[in-house]
Structure formats: structure tokens, C-alpha cells
Structure 1
Amino acid sequence: MTLAETLLAGFALGMLALHLGSVLLVVLRSARAVRPHVSEAPRITLLRPVCGVEPFDRETLGSSFALDYPTFEIIFCVADPDDPAAALVEDLIAAHPQVPARLLVGDCHLTANPKLNNLAKGWDAARGDLVVMADSNLLLPPDYLRQLVGARAPDVGLVSCPPIGIRPAGAWGALECAFLNGNQARLQLAADALGLGFAQGKTMMWDRAFLERHGGLRALGNRLAEDVAATCLVRRSGLRVALPHKPFAQPVGRRTLGQVWRRQLRWSKVRREGFPMMFLLEPLNGPVLPLIAAGLACGPWAAATLAALWYGAEIALSLREGWPSRMVDVVMFPVRDLMLPAIWLATLRNTRFEWRGNAMGPGALTKLPG
């Protein structure tokens, strides 16, 4: 074996070891996770921004009313009074009179982030010491707030969590779950196991006083995404982002390939703008380069063996954690990994993207027509 082949083989084995190590970290983290015992229950305000109506919204927004927590209120926020989501929320509030909940309507221009602008009125009206922001498509389990409170610690500035995709319909729904689970959630859960948690906008629980001391919602609007700004803010303060003992579900349903591509491209651009050095390493994410290296160094049998170990570990992790693991789900794992380099290359062009009718980019927000 030549020196070049030895280096290629070493690279392939090293990347496989890192992949298997991330899977092991997630398994060990899950194995030692226990239902949190919450000795105190600070008052919580749950903020849920809504914009438009999606297929699972009645279920996901309705889950807000079944939370097992002694003192909480729910504030739904919608920017446009004519948004059909407003009527859905009003129906849910009327069906659960025993739960303190209200809908606030209106928009502001506090930041260049339309989600934060929608939430600003809810933040101002919140009565809780802790404020939880939860996206409308997140399905909240009854112990959702208890899990978040249980993850608090003196060195924690923010509790956040990536979503786990469930109920995919069709091949492209399975592809969306492959990105959410075996790639993104695996990496974020592994990072948290090492004390390097990242914020995820799906769920963010803030100590209201802490965020106010550090600039409030306006401070979260100085990046393309509030979760990137949140991670940077917390780390600058000398604290860390913590994740609860298990992630929360997001029903996915049916997707098109274009929807999956645009969503992944948007998130890739957010990472490029927020964590440029990490973004430069993203071509190493996935097995494409290790498989090429193994094939060049040792032949097709080595690449096939590496692929079997790589995907075998992901399949085992998905089965253990209860993530979608049907044949169509497993087939989408390599499709996802083939898309990763293309997404990275496409991201190199710029960091501008469209989100909910808004053209977003560094320091600017432009409402698109229609």
C-alpha cells in the first residue's frame, strides 16, 4: 500500500470512527436519561407563533392544552388578523376554557426576523418567569414543560431541543425525517452529550430576566436565525445550552423533493452565516468522502464494508430510539447523504433565502410581493 493509499484508508477509518462515536454518544445519553424530578415549578409562559394552517396544526397546537404542569399560560401570536390560523387558535381556546390561553394579533418591526416580530407582543405580555417559545408544528408531550424545567442548571443559560421527525408520508417525507433524525438530531444530541449543546428554534426556554439583561428579543434578531443568535449569546455569557432528556416530535407528513431541498438549503445558509468555521467542515458530514477514500485505497469491497457499518449503525440507532425505520426510510439515508455535498455547494453562492414570503439576508428583510 502506498503512502497515499495509507492516508486515504486512515481518513476513511477515522471518519467511520467519528460517526460510530456519535451514535454511541446518543445511545449512552439516551440510556442514562431519566424522567426529571421537578422540585419547584416556576410560572411559565408558553409562546406559540402561528402563520398559516398546516395539516397537523390542530393536533400540534392542541397539544399545548394537555400539558401536565401546575402554573402555566399559553399565548398564541399571529401577525395578520386575516390569517386562517387565528380562527383555528380561537376554536382551540374555546374548547379548553380550563387552560389560561389567549391569542394576540399584530406585528411589529423589532428585528429583521419575522418570527421574532410576531412573538414580540407575546413576550411583552408574558407573566411567566420562564418563557418557552415552541414552533407551531411541534407536538408537545404532556411532560414537555417538566422536561424543560428539569434540564435547568446553574451553568445553563438556555434549554433547547432539536425535533424528531415522525409520521412521514411518501419517499420525500421519509427524506425529510432522514435529515431531521439520523443527521441533525444525532449530531446535536451527541454534541450535547459532550457539553456543547446548540440552540434549536423549535424549542427555546428562556429565563426572562436573563434574556432581558442581554438585550431581549432584539438581541436574537442580529443573525439570520434566532437559534444561532441564541447560541452565541449564551456562550458569550459563559453559560451553555442544555437539551432535555429526550427530543420532541414533529409530524412531517407528505413533502415534495423541492420542499426538502429548500428547507435544507435555508438551514445550511443559516449555519454558514452563524458558524462559518464549522460550515467549512461540513463536506466531512456524511459518508461520501470516506466511501470514495476507502474505494481508492482498498477497492470496492472496503467501500461496501464501510457503507454497511455506517448505515448499519444509523439503522440500529433509529430502531432503538423509535425513529422512522421502514424500508423507505432506510433507502432515504443514502439519498440524503448524496444531497449533502450539493446543498453545501449551493450554499457557497450566498446566504440569502426566502422564508414565509420574506427575502432574508444579513442585516436586511424585504417583504416579497404576494
Structure 2
Amino acid sequence: MITDSNRHVLFLILFSLGAIWFVVIWLIWLIGTWTARNRYRLRPRSPLASSNSSVAPGVSILRPLKGLDTNLYENLESTFTQEYPNFEILLCVAREDDQALPVLKELVAKYPRVAAKILIGEENVGVNPKVNNLMSGYRAAANDILWVVDSNVMVHPGSLARAVDALQTPTKSGRRVALVHHVPFAFSTESKVGSRIDEAFLNTNHAKMYLAINRVAIESCVVGKSNLYRRSDLERVNGSLKPIRSTAPSAKQEGLCGLPAFGRFLAEDNMIASAFWHELGLRHDLSCDVARNVVGNMSFYDYVQRRVRWIRVRKNMVLPATLVEPLTESIVLVSIGCSSMKYLFGLPRWICILVHFSVLLAIDLDVYASLAGHPLPQAIRWEFLAGWVAREVLALPIFLLAILGNTVEWRGKRYQVLNHGEVRQISRQRSFFELFSLRKEYEVLDTEVSP
């Protein structure tokens, strides 16, 4: 029989744990906010930007392309105007009738002094269309250092030089840096519901958590909008995440290695980073630049579908971390924290809730200002704040929707997510409600996957 005394001890333990969790997550948020201020408010010019080509390591910039992405011309032009003396640009498209080709040809003609090539055709090495598309550039790259930049990303002219600096600088622990990545910073060119919610998510909650995790650096955490790494490192790993036993500098995993080995993963960027971390024992670093992620015409359904897709991928890669994720969201967290503070200290819930969301909004706007280089513009203030509120309210419902299924859509294709983030293409049911379907009747397709 549970006595009042036993019940009190049980509640004391539970609410104490709740209070500790509340404080821990707030500390993580503050670490992310401090990192944003410390790293992104000042972007010094790299000495490599004014060096000559004999000093600066050669870099091959790979751009995977399909169709006319929002802001495509400006996005691509930002790589042509890099302040770096030794680079080439490889523009990869899968088909000769791709709508992006006229834009590519215009840029190549506009910058004749830039070593740029248009590569048409793909190599089917797996189900990931981005990897298939990148293979021509990967094979043709003249340099060991590769910079893979998505087509919807715009970068600062000094980004490449600063990223190479970071790649060549060991971590404080003395480990070599294998990969340099850039935190995504979204900006919407259209006032669409999904676009504004996604913009608010990437520039606040996602950014501060991403920065905090990478600051603590206890595990690999990389988004593949803009990644710089060495092909010689990639040729040694295969995504098994098993440490290479040999200590020889050239030791590699058995079997297929390099970019083709990652065609079986949907989140190839995260898996490549994890392979460097676990198989080679190397580390990552963030430069002081952002990957300006241009968000175009994204509907509310598109936003939900995108969040569901990546939660389902993460669920099959890092299940424990994914299951804990809802407890880090503001509404769930404030419920835990305020109930704990009420029981332990008698603090009224309304005061806790008011302080929690007021300070949270303040630090999120501070993170935005750090990454953007300026405060939130007046012109989008109310739309952005509405997107921020919607993101916080929708976080738990979207998670619950995502956690119950294993099928995702990407670039018009439908996939089943398998263990460790691998995927296989399945038949696509042409129904609006297919995202919510939990049925497992599917047909494996053996046809070639195109981006």
C-alpha cells in the first residue's frame, strides 16, 4: 500500500528530475546562443583569400542540380565569386533536358576565368538521387578537397577560404579536422505559411541546438547543405561506423568505400560525417559562415512532410536521441519545468510560463541576429513571429505523426526507411493522405532512381 509519505518521496524524486531536466535543456539553449554570438558576429578575412594558387590548397566545388530552384542564379554565382585563388566548379546535372542548364551556361560564359565545368549524366550507385547526381563531379574532381554545396544555398565570398582554414586547424584536443560544415540560415523569398514556419525553425530552435551540440562535440551532428572534406578521407570509409583497426595512415575499410558507398543512405551527408567521426576517429568543425538556405514556395503540407521525413530518418539512425527529442521542445519542457517548480518551490505556473517563453523568444531573436548579421527586419517581423509560434505548437503533433511510420517522400519518390538510415524505393500511392498512412503494403522498384 502506497502511503502519503511514500507518495511524497516519489513525487519529490520525479519533480526533482523534471527540474534538473528543465535546467539542463536551458543550459544547452544558452550554450547555443552564446556560440552563435561568439562565432558568427565577427567574420575575419582569411589570409588564404589574398594568397596565390601555389600556397592555397586546391578545392573542387561540387554543385548537384535539378531544375530551377528558387534564386538559382544568385546561389550558383556565389561560388563563382569566391575570394580564393585555387578552385574549380563542377556543376552536376543528371539529364540533358534539365531546366537548370541555360543558367549554368550563362554563368560559365560570364566568368571565363573561373575553372568551371558542366557535367551531364548520373551514375546509379544507390537509391539516393543526390549521390547518383554527384558521381560525375566526384570522379572528375581535380583536387583532394571537395566542397559539396546544395543548389538552394548561397555563400559569402569569403566562405571557402575560412572553411579551408578550419579544415587545416586541429581541434583543441589535437585531433585532425576531417569535415567543415556550415549552419543553415534560412531566408524566405515568399510569404507562404510553410516557408515562414521553416524559416523560423531553422533560424532559431534548430540553429541553437545544432550549435550547442557541435560546441559540446560529444557526437557527430552535421547537416549537408554545405560540407567541405577530403576525398582521400572519404575513400577510406564506407558508412559501417566501425572503427578501422589498423593505425596505418592509409588504412581503409574493406569493400566499397568513398562516395558510392553512401548511395544507400537518404541522409548521406550525416552518414559521411559520422563515418569520419567513428571509423577514422577524426572530428568536425564549424566555420564562422552560414549556408544561406533559400526557402521558396513551401506550403504548410510541404513543411510537415519535410519534418516528418527527417524525423523518420533520424529515428532509424539514432532512436534513443530521437525519442528524447519531444522532451526538449518548449511546450513539453515548460509543462515539465513549471509543474516541477510549482511542487518544489511553490512558484505559480503562470509566472514560470511567462518567463520561459519571454526569455526563449529573446534568445531565439538573438540567435537570428547573430547568424544574419542584423536584427530581425521590421518588414517580416509579424510573419516571422507567427511562424515561430506555429513551429512551437506543431513540434509535438508532427513528431507523433512521424514516429509512427517508416515511409518518406523525397523529390517525388517514395522510400521506406530501413535500419541505420538506409532506404529503398517503394511504389508511390497518389493520395494526399499517403503521408499519414501506416500501411506496409509496398512493392520494391528495381528501376533506376533519378534526382
Residues 244-323 of structure 1 correspond to what in structure 2 (within 5 A)? 244-296=287-339, 297=342, 298-322=348-372
3-state SS of paired residue (1:219): helix
* C-alpha contact 2:84 2:160 (8 A) present in aligned 1: yes
For the pair 1:162 / 2:179, whether they are aligned, the reply is: no
The DSSP-based 3-state class of the residue aligned with 2:227 is: strand
> What's the offset of the Cα at 1:60?
0.6
Q: Write the mapping of 1:143-222 to structure 2, written as runs, cut at 5 A.
A: 143-152=158-167, 153-154=169-170, 155-170=176-191, 171-196=193-218, 198-214=221-237, 215-222=257-264
Decide whether aligned partners of structure 1 residues 104 and 221 sit closer, same or farther in structure 2, where only a CA change above 3 A counts: same
Does the CA-based 8 Å contact 1:224-1:273 persist in structure 2?
no
Q: For 1:1-370, what aligned pairs fall within 5 Å after superposition?
A: 3=12, 8-30=18-40, 34-38=44-48, 40-152=55-167, 153-154=169-170, 155-170=176-191, 171-196=193-218, 198-214=221-237, 215-236=257-278, 237-296=280-339, 297=342, 298-322=348-372, 325=376, 326-361=381-416, 362=418, 363-366=423-426
Counterpart residue identity of residue 353, structure 2: A
1:221-272, CA deviations, whole angstroms, 9 ceiling, x for partnerless residues?
3432112211220111101121112212122244211121112222222222
Which residue identity does 1:331 align to in structure 2? A
Is the radius of gyration larger for structure 1 or structure 2? 2
Structure 1 residues 252, 6: closer, same or farther in 2, change over 3 A?
Answer: same
| Aligned match of 2:449 | none
Q: 1:158, 1:242 within 8 Å by CA — same for their partners in 2? A: yes
Distance change >3 Å, CA 187–CA 33, structure 1 → 2: farther
Aligned partner of residue 187 in structure 1, secondary structure = helix
User: Secondary structure of 1:213's match?
Assistant: coil
Amino acid at match of 1:304: L
Q: CA deviation at 1:201?
A: 1.3
Cα displacement (A) at 1:130: 0.8
Residue identity opposite 2:351 in structure 1: W
Aligned-CA RMSD value: 2.5
Q: Can you give the 5+ residue segments of structure 1 that lack an aligned partner in the other structure? A: none
**Kept in 2: contact 1:113–1:365 (CA 8 A):** no
- Aligned partners of 1:162 and 1:185 also within 8 Å: yes
Distance 2:71 2:275 in 1: 32
Answer yes or no: is the 8 Å Cα contact 2:225–2:291 preserved in 1.
no
1:187-240: per-residue Cα shift (whole Å, max 9, x none)? 222222223552221112121111112211023234321122112201111011
| Change in CA separation of 1:109 and 1:253 when aligned onto 2, cut-off 3 Å | closer
Which residue identity is paired with 1:293? I
| Range moving further from structure 2, 315-324 or 160-169 | 315-324
- Distance apart, 1:34 and its partner CA: 3.9
> Is the contact between residue 221 and residue 229 of structure 1 (CA under 8 Å) also seen in structure 2?
no
**Aligned residues of 2:311 and 2:403 also touching (Cα < 8 A):** no
82 and 157 in structure 1: CA distance in 2 versus 1, 3 angstrom threshold: same
Query: Which shifted more, 188-197 or 140-149?
Result: 188-197
* 1:6, distance to aligned residue in structure 2 (A): 5.6
Q: Residue type matched to 1:186 in 2?
A: K
Give the structure-1-normalised TM-score.
0.91
**1:22–1:343 Cα change, 3 Å:** same
CA distance in 2 between partners of 1:50 and 1:274 (Å):
27
